[in-house]
Every structure is written in C-alpha cells, then in structure tokens.
Amino acid sequence: MRVGIFKFSSCDGCQLSFINLSGELAELENFSIDYFLEGQSVNNYEYFDFSFVEGSVSTTEEIERIKDIRERSKVLVGIGACAVSGGVQSIRNFRNIDDIKTVYNTVDITKNVLENALPISQVVKVDFEIRGCPVSTDVVKDFINSILIGKSPHNYNYPVCLECKRRGNICLLVLNKPCLGPITTAGCNALCPSVNRGCYGCFGPYKDANIEAFYNLFKEKGWGIRDFIENSLNPYNHLFVEKLWKQNL
C-alpha cells in the first residue's frame, strides 16, 4: 500500500501521530509512505492508495493542490478538525477581515486567500474522516491496521459519554461541572473527563446528539450553554458550531 501524508493550512499536530508511529509503521508489510514532507527527506509524488490530509483549504493554491492529490489517490482521508470542519482557521469566516489584518499589519495575509477557510470535503470527495485536535495516535494506528487487513475502520458513531462509562468515570455533569461529552463524537477515550476536566469538543459534535435535552440541562443548572459551547467548541469546529445553532437552537 502506497501512502501519502499531506499538510494544508494547519499546525502540523496531526501529522505527529504518524511520526509517533514511525517505528511500528516501518515494520508493516505492504505498507510504504511514499510522500511525507514533515517526516522524511526522500519523497515520491506519483500515485497513492491512501492519502491522509491534514489542514483546511484556505488559499487558491491549496484548491488546485487538493484536487491534484485527489486525482492521484484511490482513497483520501481527512485527519483532524482543520481538515474535517475548517478548524482554527475557520474562525475568520465569521470575523471582519479588516480586524484580522491589524494583527499582521506589515504583511499582506489576504493575498490568494479564500474568503472562507474550507473543510477539504467542500472541495473534493473525502472517503474517510479521522477527527480530533490533534487526532489520536491510537485511532490512526487502528485505522491503518484495519485497512491493511481489509476491515472497515471503526466508526465512532457515539458520544464521549460512552467512553467515560467504559473507563468508570463519574459523570462531570452530575458533579456540576460543564462538559460537552454528551454532544461530542467519541474517539479520544474520554481523555479530558478522565482527568476531571470537562470535554471541550475537539472531536466535533456527535451527529445524533440530543441538543435540546443538553440545552435544557444547562438551563436547569444556570449555565450559559451558548457561551460555553462557543468558547469551548468554537476554536476547533467553528463551522459545526454554526450548524448547531442553525439546526437545533
């Protein structure tokens, strides 16, 4: 299996999962990373059975580049919040560009920049998505092992709460601590709730979440759900937050 790992507008954090797994990946049969600029000095940009793409599409050059990668790839996988939902870059989609310019007032940051930072699925067909900010090394490992044996990758079609239950955690909401676990897609193994910190939703909203019940719970406890979600989930999945408000609240 020939693999390419690519970076678009992002922090590079998701690619580190592949570097963390480099020793194990090197021992796999029929598995070759042909292109990975962050992880190796010799690269071959031709055809890929699997392409893993980190980052959002934010410039005109990136539109052409992701289209070219798509044409060269049998299967394309978006990795991380930026690739899946626009990530941190998408915050600017809802801000005044003149305000953003003041941060870098000596550099023209708007040159060839798209009006909105886009998830790659809005530009090309995406076959799989691995969520997280950054993605979990264990989830990436499980994904690769699954496809190597011809098995469908695990579908995390349930909320973080289920992972909390499996780990025996006491529900933080019961302890009167705000937590986005009930409305957030699993895959992190309840990392934050397991250290007594409320989930802040970096894996993105769980698609079948009961938002109305979650909203009523926050209302009963006197917590500002809109402020909490926007301040917590917003930096990672701003596009999802907008979708939540439009569809559910």
Residues of the chain with CATH 3.40.50.700: 2-149
Question: pTM, whole model, 2 decimals?
Answer: 0.86
pLDDT at res. 128:
95
CA distance 128 to 74: 12
pLDDT at res. 71:
98
Between 204 and 198, name the one with better pLDDT: 198
3-state secondary structure of 75: strand
Name the DSSP letter for residue 93: G
- Candidates 91, 130, 103; CA nearest to 235 is 91
Sheet strands side by side (includes 48-54)? 32-36, 2-7, 48-54, 73-79, 128-130
| pLDDT mean over 33-37 | 97
pLDDT at res. 222:
86
Query: What is the residue-averaged pLDDT of the chain?
Result: 88
pLDDT in tens, 212-243: 888 888 888 888 777 777 666 666 666 666 66
Q: Are 66 and 126 a contacting pair, CB within 8 Å? A: no
Please name the residues in contact with 157: beta carbons below 8 A apart, sequence gap of 6 or more. Answer: 185, 207, 208
| pLDDT mean over 62-72 | 98
pLDDT at res. 144:
96
Tell me which fold the domain 2-149 belongs to. Rossmann fold (3.40.50)
